[in-house]
Amino acid sequence: MIPSLKVKNKEQKMKLFSLNRRQRTLLTILFFAIFLITVVIVGAVLDKDLIATNLIERNLAPSLDHLFGTDWLGRDMFTRTIMGLSLSIGVGMIGAVGSTLIALTLGMAAATMGKVADRVISWLIDLFLSVPHLVTLILIAFALGGGFKGIVMGLMLTHWPSLARVIRAEVMQIRSAEYVQISQQMGKSRWWIAIHHILPHLTPQVLIGFMLLFPHVILHEAAVTFIGLGLSPHEPAIGIILSESMKYLSAGMWWLAFFPGFCLLIIVQAFDRIGENLRLLIDPTKSNN
């Protein structure tokens, strides 16, 4: 009897500490969210004097004093990388929010403003989707003279079509629901129905779409900045750091590009994991254990 009791106690303890699928998903989202918030806060509070020129310590390999080494001007690469990631996340946030708002507005307008509006917006979506994001982004950034304004406007105007198409299809489906038909028969206006009936049902799709847009926005910002059409060279952006490091790779200074690039991939992967887990959490057919 005693051995059986021990086995039962062990099983009870295992059940007590085991997590179901929903709990694991929530913990994953929480972990990556805390990680990203920490990067932003640390990047914002770091003293810019840490990246001041120090020719005595230039071209140092990674060590305990300089985790990511130093560059050709003696600047600490760890500090520059964290500041660059914080800046990229900030720019990505603005671009993703603007793009999501455009997608939400056009997607709802296409499904609620009549056939003419639907045709025009559908044509715009197909037009933007027919050209790669990066090409359109480069053209817009170049036309606006680059810099912060050019890159942010370019990000906003190029990443909305896919989400707008999803929102349009979702609104078309919700519009045929019985409670929406009853509201129309009661004389409610289109905008009243859109705000009170359609918009609440779109919140999960908009939230997931926003989180999945973020990785693309950050990568495209870094790519455009890398070729010189994005943020100012005086900013410690990841794209600028990678662009400058290309000149010194042949001299064996591999850490100048490796650590910033690797950290950028980690940030992108973190946002992607949050988006995928939010989708898993919101979709009841997948989140139930």
Query: How confident is the prediction for the chain on average, in pLDDT?
Result: 81
Q: Which residues pair with 76 in a beta bridge?
A: 70
pLDDT in tens, 231-263: 877 777 888 888 888 888 888 888 888 989 899
DSSP string, the chain: -HHHHHHHHHHHHHHHH---HHHHHHHHHHHHHHHHHHHHHHHHHS-GGGGS--GGGTTPPS-SSSTT-B-TT--BHHHHHHHHHHHHHHHHHHHHHHHHHHHHHHHHHHHHS-HHHHHHHHHHHHHHHTS-HHHHHHHHHHHTTSHHHHHHHHHHHHS-HHHHHHHHHHHHHHHTSHHHHHHHHTT--HHHHIIIIIHHHHHHHHHHHHHHHHHHHHHHHHHHHHTTSSS-TTS--HHHHHHHHTTTGGGT-THHHHHHHHHHHHHHHHHHHHHHHHHHHH-HHHH--
> Per-residue pLDDT tens for 131-179?
887 888 888 888 888 788 888 888 888 888 888 888 888 888 887 778 7
| Contact by Cβ (8 Å): 68, 78 | yes
Residue that is written with structure tokens 């990203």 in the block: 36
Nearest Cα residue to 156 out of 218, 96, 229, 216: 96
Q: Which fold does the domain 24-46+66-287 belong to in CATH?
A: MetI-like fold (1.10.3720)
Domain ranges within the chain, ordered by starting residue: 24-46+66-287
pLDDT score recorded for residue 14 = 45
Give residue 27's pLDDT.
86
Per-residue model confidence (pLDDT) at position 102: 92
**For residue 62, what pLDDT band results from cuts at 50, 70 and 90?**
confident
Say whether pTM exceeds 0.85: no
Cα 209 to Cα 205: distance, rounded to the nearest angstrom: 6
pLDDT at position 287: 46
Torsion on CA atoms 258, 260, 262, 263, rounded to nearest 10: 160
**64-96: pLDDT as tens digits:** 888 888 888 888 888 888 888 888 888 888 888
